[in-house]
Structure 1
Amino acid sequence: MKILDGKYVSQKVRDSIKQEILEIKEKEGKVPGLAVIQAGDNLASKIYVNSKIKQCAEVGIESKNFIMSADVSEKELLDKIEELNNDDTIDGILVQLPLPDHIDTPKVIEAIEIGKDVDGFKPENLGKVVLGDETALISCTPAGILRLFEEYNIDLEGKDVVVIGRSNIVGKPMTALLINEGATVTVCNSKTKNISEKTKTADVIIVAVGKANFLTGDMIKKDAVIIDVGINRDQDNKICGDVDYESVKETVGFITPVPGGVGPMTIAMLLNNTLKAFKNGKKI
C-alpha cells in the first residue's frame, strides 16, 4: 500500500505558485488578488477561511476578507459581488459555503464573473471542463485529485474508474476530467443498486458520499487506487473518511489518508485557480 500524500503534494504546488508569483511581481509589478466573502458565524467556515487566507499570504496572493452578518440581505451580498467583479485588483472571488438559509446560493454563485470563479462552481466553468477547455477554472477538489494522480504517475487512460457521488462540486466535474483523461467511468449514487458489484472490478475508486467508513475491504479488488474525499466523524467522534481504512489497507495499491489527503489539495488548487484567473485576465 502506498499513501497518496496530499500534504506533501500540496506543499509542492504552493512552492511552485510562490515562485511563479515572485517572477510575475518582479516583471509586472502585480500579484494575484483573492476576495473571500463570509456570511454568518459558522465555525467550520471560519477555520477554512483562516486557512485559505494564511496560505494566500504564504504564496504571495493578496487576500481581502469580507465578513458579513448572518442576517445580511441577498441584495447586499450580490452588490458586494458586483463591486468585486468590477475591481481590477481582485482576480478571484470566493463565497464561503454554506450561506445562511434565506440566501439563494445558486443565484449568488451565478453572480460571480466567470473569470473570477476560482471555486469553479459556475455552470459555465463546469461546461468548459466537460469540453476540455484549458481556460476552465476547475472545481478545486477534482483538480486536486487529478494533480495527485499526476504526482504519483497513476495513468488513467483505459482504466475502469468508479465515482461514488454525483455532486456538482465533486462527482460531476471529476467524471468529466476522468473522461477527458481517457478513463472508462461509472458514476454511482444513493439510488445505485449493488454498488459493490461495480467497485469490485474498478481500478480506481473515488468516494465522495459523506458517509463514515462507507467503502469496505470486501468491496474492492487487489491493488485498487482509492481516493477518499469524505471528512466525517465516527462513533468515537474521531475524524474519518468515506473509506473504512482499516479494512481496505491490506488490499489497496494507493490510498489517500483522512486527514492529509484530498483536503490540503483542495486549498492548493484554489490558490492555483487564483493564479490562473490572474494570468487569464492579465493575458500573462
Structure 2
Amino acid sequence: MTTIIDAIKMCDENIIKYQEESKKIKEVINKQPKFVIINASNDEGNARYIKGKIKAGEKAGLIVEVITFEDNCNNDEVLNIIKKCNEDKTPVILQLPTFKHLDTEGLMKAIDYDVDADGFAREWIGEVNLGNDKKIAPATPKGVISLLEYYNVEMEGKLALVIGRSNHVGKPLVNMLINRGATTICANSKTKNLENLVRQADIVISCVGSQNLIAAEDIKEDAIVIGVGFTYVNGKQILDFDVDQIVNLDKAKYVSNRINCTGKSTINSLIDNVIELYKINFNIK
C-alpha cells in the first residue's frame, strides 16, 4: 500500500520542541528571540511563503519581523538592514526572488554565516560537504531529510536519485544523502534516458519544477518518491509527478503530498536553523 507523506504531524511535534528552546534562549539573552525576513519584491509567491514563515515562527515563540521594500529601493537600503542583523546577531533571510534591479548575489553574500537562517552561506555548505549537517543546512534539503528520517526511511545502502542541481537544493541534498550512506545520483531535467534511472532508484527526489517529468509507471516497487519542484497550472500547484497516479498504481512505498509536505518541512527547518543560530552565537546548550 502506498502511503502519502504529510509533514503536518512532524512539524507540529517540532514546534513544541522549538517553543521550549525559545524560552531557554530568552532566559539567556533577556529578550524574545527575533527572526528577520527581508522582502524586496512584489512576487505573489513570496507573500504566501512569508505568511507561512510568520505563522510557524510565532508558534515557535519567535518574533518575526518582515521588512518590505518598494520597487524603487536600492541595494544600499537592503544592505543596511543586513548589516544591522549582522551586528545584532539576529537571524535573517533575504526572501527570493528579489527585484531584478537588485544585486541579489551580492546581498546574499553580505549576510554573515552566523545569522544566515537559510543556510546558504559557503561556510554552511562547506560543513554539509564535510558531513556536518546536523545543525545548520539549507532549509529545503534539510526539510526533505527530516521527512525521510521521521518516516524511518532507510537511506544507508539505498540508491537515491536527486533530479535537480541548484546550489540551494539539489547539490546540498545530494551530499546530505551521501552523509547518510546512500549511493546517490544527481540528474537534471536534461538527463538522457532519465526514466531508466527512475526505474532503478530506491529513493527519487525531484527538485526541478516540470510537470510530468516523472511517469508513475517508471517508479520502482517500494520506492520513496518526494516532490520538491513544482509549477503552477491554472492556479494549481503541480508537482513534477502526479501523486494520484502513483498512489493508484500502488507500487511506491511512500509518495509526498502535493500540499502539506516539503513546503511545510522547509519552513520547519528554517525555524530550526534560527534556533540553532541563537544557540551557537550565545553558547546555549
SS at match of 1:132: coil
Deviation string 1:89-115 (CA, Å, 9 cap, x unpaired) is x2x111111011111211111000001
Map of 2:229 onto structure 1? 230
Distance 1:159 1:243 in 2: 21
Q: Which amino acid aligns with 2:84?
A: E
SS at match of 2:200: coil
Deviation string 1:42-70 (CA, Å, 9 cap, x unpaired) is 22212211221122111111222211111
Map of 1:161 onto structure 2? 160
Aligned pair count? Answer: 281
* The one of 237, 240, 251 aligned to 2:238: 240
For structure 2, the 5+ residue unaligned runs are none
Q: Which amino acid aligns with 1:14?
A: I
| 1:257-268 to 2 correspondences below 5 Å | 257-268=257-268
Distance 2:209 2:134 in 1: 30
Deviation string 1:70-103 (CA, Å, 9 cap, x unpaired) is 1211122112211221124x2x111111011111
Shift of 1:202: 0.5
| 1:1-284 to 2 correspondences below 5 Å | 1-26=2-27, 29-88=30-89, 90=90, 92-134=91-133, 137-234=136-233, 236-249=234-247, 250-284=250-284
Q: Percent identity?
A: 33
Distance 1:14 1:136 in 2: 16
Shift of 1:193: 1.0
Q: Which amino acid aligns with 2:270?
A: L
- Alpha carbons 1:7, 1:264 under 8 Å: kept: yes
For structure 1, the 5+ residue unaligned runs are none
Distance 1:49 1:86 in 2: 24
- Alpha carbons 2:26, 2:33 under 8 Å: kept: no
Which shifted more, 32-41 or 109-118? 32-41
Q: Which amino acid aligns with 1:82?
A: K
Q: RMSD across aligned C-alpha pairs, in angstroms?
A: 1.6
Distance 2:261 2:45 in 1: 18
SS at match of 1:161: strand
- Alpha carbons 2:42, 2:99 under 8 Å: kept: no
- Compute the TM-score of the two structures, normalised by the length of structure 2: 0.93
- Compute the TM-score of the two structures, normalised by the length of structure 1: 0.94
